[in-house]
Amino acid sequence: MLNAKIPAGPLESKWTDYKGHCKLVNPANKRKLEVIIVGTGLAGASAAASLGELGYKVKAFCFQDSPRRAHSIAAQGGINAAKNYQNDGDSVFRLFYDTIKGGDYRAREANVHRLAEVSTNIIDQCVAQGVPFAREYGGLLSNRSFGGTQVQRTFYAAGQTGQQLLIGAYQALERQVALGNVKMYSRHEMLEIVKIDGKARGIIARDLVSGELERHFGHAVLLCSGGYGNVFYLSTNAMGSNVTAAWKAHRQGALFSNPCFTQIHPTCIPVSGDHQSKLTLMSESLRNDGRIWVPKKQNDTRKATDIPEEERDYYLERRYPAFGNLVPRDVASRAAKERCDAGYGVGSSKQAVYLDYASAIERYGRTEANKQGRNNVSLEEIIAMGKEVVKEKYGNLFDMYEKITGENPYEVPMRIYPAVHYTMGGLWVDYELQTTVPGLYALGEANFSDHGANRLGASALMQGLADGYFVIPYTIGNYLADEIYSKAIATDHPAFAEAEKAVSDRINQLMNIRGKQSVESFHKRLGKIMWDKCGMARNEEGLKQAIQEIQALKKEFWSDVRIPGEINGMNPELDKANRVADFIELGELMCIDALNRNESCGGHFREESQTEEGEAMRDDANFMYVAAWEFKGEHQWELHKEALNYDVIKPSQRNYK
């Protein structure tokens, strides 16, 4: 049985009670305890800085040349916090409730409540660090609204919130580096967990510049290595984002939870051709004002501006009159797919729908004219004024769209299509963020903990920073307090030698295949299988096929991949091969998980489980659990279940009609 170690007592006092009773490590002992942190995005950098400040000896690793470049840097929209600065009825409870409901009742109440509680501290901490959040003229912090909520609780820094938060955490981290509390290893990739007597005691990392393998000891190991969306090849994730760290942990005994829960974001710039290497998100905030439509006629080849109003199908407004263009991400994504599959898609690929700002431009223009007290304004002038307003609100996004597509979105509607964006699944962790391997923790997107089957916008940044700044500094003490007698283990211990040999053998094996096909070509093929059969809609037959195809692909990869270059030196193709090999194994597990979960919930849509109108249907009687998979050997996993108990919130079917 999985024990999540949720503290007893009423929901709202669990965390306070935990903090009041968990074990502590005194300052002198902290200096003797070493902590390894893999990943320095929001979760890892905030953890490394905070643990360094506390006095632990920290070693932090990232594969980029600097921690400032982690994937977190790309987050656009904002970060949630239950500050209720707008006096619009927000509270810790409401943020907790929205997150549980948004996650379609597949997240743990105790974790989510803690997240909502510490959310307010995050904003304070970031402001103190000098994060330049957007402000009102009175000098106070500004908020915007985001999907799935009725209050304004999202803090932001224009369209660069992730950048500003990460720079804040990065600076705090670099301060600890300067003080000697944290040692930073950039351009390093963790390739194995070292376990001694069942506990995580270190890692094997590869110096990506020299190609050398290194052994590092730690009394505890924290994985803050991000999400695995790139299993689909095309996603909005950075090119380097990968599952390798989490996957190594999984193969060493850490359970992997809900791998099939992936978030497909409805508003991304569509694929333009086979050369496409990644997809670009257009912030969710665009749906506040844009209207989404396709032509009423199939295969309509007219230009968007030539299609008259009555021949347009505003399908979200038609299907979901109550929420219209603002339905949650999963619902909007599936509706776009349904229209395109039925032959109504637009653009050269026919895999796109329009996001149209024409009516918003006119509406803002009229408001502006009214504000200026002018009637008798020509339509042209109104439109010019409207464009100015839209520019101020969304200018940077419109510019980004134009740079990529070469089209001017002020004149023609944008073309958008859903794309893989975030992974809710990840390493199973208990209330303390510890995996099923003692001493091994997972933070940020790498764990499964807080978002259930669907994540709300602006909640990933909140979770990463909550884990790193405010949760792990307490929970790790509870573990390390019992470790003060464990001396650092020398890295000539046989367990280190063995782990290093395993890594080195695998690298040699990969390099010696000397086949014909590039790593990239395998990654693309894996992505296509995943997107077609384990993407926005899944069914039994497709998933079974996908599993077969992935198994065959794995065989082919290990017998025909071609990796140029050398082992001893900078070799990005080798780095990529290591990652793609793990993605292939993960892909199989995702399909197995999707096949097992014969219900539709959040981002997971099983075609067998829908209403007559094609809406998702949850099955609480059979699936109200966290699926936690144990690795048993190649192509073999055992399912463990963690029952979800809703003591405070009553689950209901989501309805946006």
Partner 1 sequence: MEHYTMNLNLKVWRQKNSASKGEFKLYRVENISSEMSFLEMFDVLNEQLIRDGEDPVTFDHDCREGICGACSMYINGKPHGPWQANTTCQLHMRAFKDGDTVVVEPWRANAFPVIKDLMVDRTAFDRIIQAGGYISVNTGNAVDGNALPIEKDKADASFAAAMCIGCGACVAACKNSSAMLFLSAKVSHLALLPQGAPERKSRVMNMVAQMDKEGFGSCTNTGACEATCPKEISISNIARLNQEYLMAGLTAE
Ligand X SMILES: Cc1cc2nc3c(=O)[nH]c(=O)nc-3n(C[C@H](O)[C@H](O)[C@H](O)COP(=O)(O)OP(=O)(O)OC[C@H]3O[C@@H](n4cnc5c(N)ncnc54)[C@H](O)[C@@H]3O)c2cc1C
**Binding-site ranges for ligand X (CB under 6 A):** 38-44, 61-64, 70-72, 74-79, 161-162, 188-190, 224-227, 236-237, 241-242, 244-245, 281, 421-422, 444-446, 458-461, 464
Q: H helices of 259-378, where?
A: 315-319, 329-341, 358-371
List the 256-257 sheet strands across, edge first: 426-427, 256-257, 625-633, 636-643
Structure-block tokens of residue 44: 């890892």
Nearer to ligand X by Cβ, of 206 and 337: the residue is 206
Nearer to ligand X by Cβ, of 148 and 226: the residue is 226
The one of ligand X, partner 1, none whose footprint includes residue 422, by CB under 5 to 8 A per kind, is: ligand X
Structure-block tokens of residue 54: 């506390």
List the 213-217 sheet strands across, edge first: 188-196, 199-207, 213-217
CB of 433 to ligand X, least distance (A): 12
The one of partner 1, ligand X, none whose footprint includes residue 245, by CB under 5 to 8 A per kind, is: ligand X
Report d(CA 652, CA 435) in Å as an integer.
30
CB of 328 to partner 1, least distance (A): 24
> Is residue 513 exposed (0-12), middle (13-18) or buried (19+ Cβ within 10 Å)?
middle
CB of 162 to ligand X, least distance (A): 5
CB of 243 to ligand X, least distance (A): 8
CA atoms within 13 A on the CB side of 477: 21
- The residue sitting closest to ligand X, measured at its beta carbon, is 41
The one of ligand X, partner 1, none whose footprint includes residue 359, by CB under 5 to 8 A per kind, is: none
Nearer to partner 1 by Cβ, of 521 and 545: the residue is 521
Nearer to partner 1 by Cβ, of 105 and 170: the residue is 170
Rg for the chain, CA atoms, rounded: 25
CB of 602 to partner 1, least distance (A): 26
Report d(CA 525, CA 556) in Å as an integer.
11
Nearer to ligand X by Cβ, of 64 and 436: the residue is 64
The one of ligand X, partner 1, none whose footprint includes residue 65, by CB under 5 to 8 A per kind, is: partner 1
Report d(CA 653, CA 159) in Å as an integer.
33
CB of 42 to partner 1, least distance (A): 13
Nearer to ligand X by Cβ, of 433 and 461: the residue is 461
Report d(CA 33, CA 24) in Å as an integer.
13
Nearer to ligand X by Cβ, of 357 and 422: the residue is 422
User: Which residues are within 8 A (CB) of 313 and not within 5 positions of it... i.e. 6 or more apart?
Assistant: 293, 294, 295, 296, 339, 344
The one of ligand X, partner 1, none whose footprint includes residue 125, by CB under 5 to 8 A per kind, is: partner 1
Nearer to partner 1 by Cβ, of 46 and 459: the residue is 46
The one of partner 1, ligand X, none whose footprint includes residue 276, by CB under 5 to 8 A per kind, is: partner 1
How many other CB atoms are found less than 10 A from the CB of residue 630?
A: 16
Q: 570-591: buried (b, 16+ CB within 10 Å) or exposed (e) per residue?
A: ebebbbbbbbbbbbbbbbbbbb
The one of partner 1, ligand X, none whose footprint includes residue 140, by CB under 5 to 8 A per kind, is: partner 1
The one of partner 1, ligand X, none whose footprint includes residue 185, by CB under 5 to 8 A per kind, is: none
- Please state, in angstroms and as integers, the Cα–Cα distance from residue 462 to each residue in 110, 145, 325, following that order: 16, 15, 25
